[in-house]
Copies of this chain bind each other. A is one copy, B any other.
Amino acid sequence: MNPVVVKRLVAQALEEDIGSGDITGMAFGGVPAIGRFVAEGNIIVAGLAVAREVFRQVDPEVEVELETADGAAATHGDVLLACSGSGAALLAAERVALNFVQRMSGIATLTRHYVEAVAGTGARVADTRKTTPGLRMLEKHAVRMGGGHNHRMGLADGVLIKENHIALAGSLAKAVAHARRHAGHGYRIEVETTSLDEVRQALAHGADIIMLDNFEPLAMREAVALIGGRAMVEASGGITLNTIRAVAETGVNVISIGRLTHSAPAAEISMDIFPA
């Protein structure tokens, strides 16, 4: 992750939560205290470095020790992070630090379930641009920590020609030709398709990646055969933990899943604080 972005996001979160000062906690400034992040369930950890930055911005005197690493599994009772410093600082930092780590670990944990579901098939689990506005870098890091892969970061660094683009361009052929002419040579051209016929067109016009959007398993298998390795194949659209194995077994290379980031529940983690 970019440390400059982490600093900015943490500063904004602390402005938001602490505002003009913690009116409950300011009473306990002088009391030295110890704090611990503890897992309350089975989770994949992500975001510990962000939590450390939260404590440092609240008070550079707080000592933080990471007890595990991003990407590691933890179970009920495991200590993830330990810190010590003034009670006022720990109390002021607690909620923001937890909010970051719970969200990121929630995404890593959900991603891991999807990744495990396709184990051995050779298919990658990938995220999408359906991330929380402003937090994409953190959420894409969490996906990697869960064992997933990242799709493009935004509209500037990847070409994905969708139904909407084709409608406006007039034809798939024109849309691909235009992208090929203008996109940087480091990016592959991806085309979204909704039928075998469109798959054939995408192939004919030289798409580097073909996305199969909401294909039935049978059609998906047929599409993979049709493409025959001449383009990478990405499955997308409404894939769940129940259906992902079947999708992966059709032979697609990548399965992208919006809910990894837009609907992952927060991981259960709490913070204990007590006098030092």
Q: Which residues of A contact B (CB under 8 A)?
A: 1-5, 7-28, 31, 33, 57-59, 87, 90-92, 94-96, 98-100, 102-103, 106, 124, 126, 129-137, 140-141, 144, 149-161, 164-165, 167-169, 175, 178-179, 182-188, 190, 209, 232, 234, 253-254, 258-259, 262-263, 265-266, 272-275
Cα distance A159–B160 when bound, in Å? Answer: 19
* Chain B hits for A179, CB < 8 A: 23-24, 27
Known: A156-B20, A263-B266. A167 touches B134 (CB 8 A): no
* Chain B hits for A8, CB < 8 A: 11, 15
Are B23 and A2 in touch, CB under 8 angstroms?
Answer: no
* Chain B hits for A157, CB < 8 A: 19, 23, 152-153, 156-158, 186
Are A152 and B184 in touch, CB under 8 angstroms?
Answer: yes
**Copies assembled:** 6
Chain B minimum-CB-distance residue to A7: B11
Are A135 and B132 in touch, CB under 8 angstroms?
Answer: yes
* Chain B hits for A135, CB < 8 A: 132-134
* Chain B hits for A21, CB < 8 A: 1-2, 137, 141, 155-156
* Chain B hits for A140, CB < 8 A: 20
Chain B minimum-CB-distance residue to A102: B262
Known: A184-B23, A186-B209. A132 touches B103 (CB 8 A): yes
- Smallest CB–CB gap between A89 and chain B, Å? 9
Cα distance A151–B161 when bound, in Å? Answer: 20
* Chain B hits for A33, CB < 8 A: 168
- Smallest CB–CB gap between A154 and chain B, Å? 5
* Chain B hits for A95, CB < 8 A: 129-130, 155
Given contacts A9-B134, A16-B136, 10 further A-B contacts (CB under 8 A): A2-B21, A4-B57, A23-B159, A23-B187, A99-B262, A151-B184, A164-B273, A164-B274, A186-B187, A187-B188
Are B3 and A59 in touch, CB under 8 angstroms?
Answer: yes
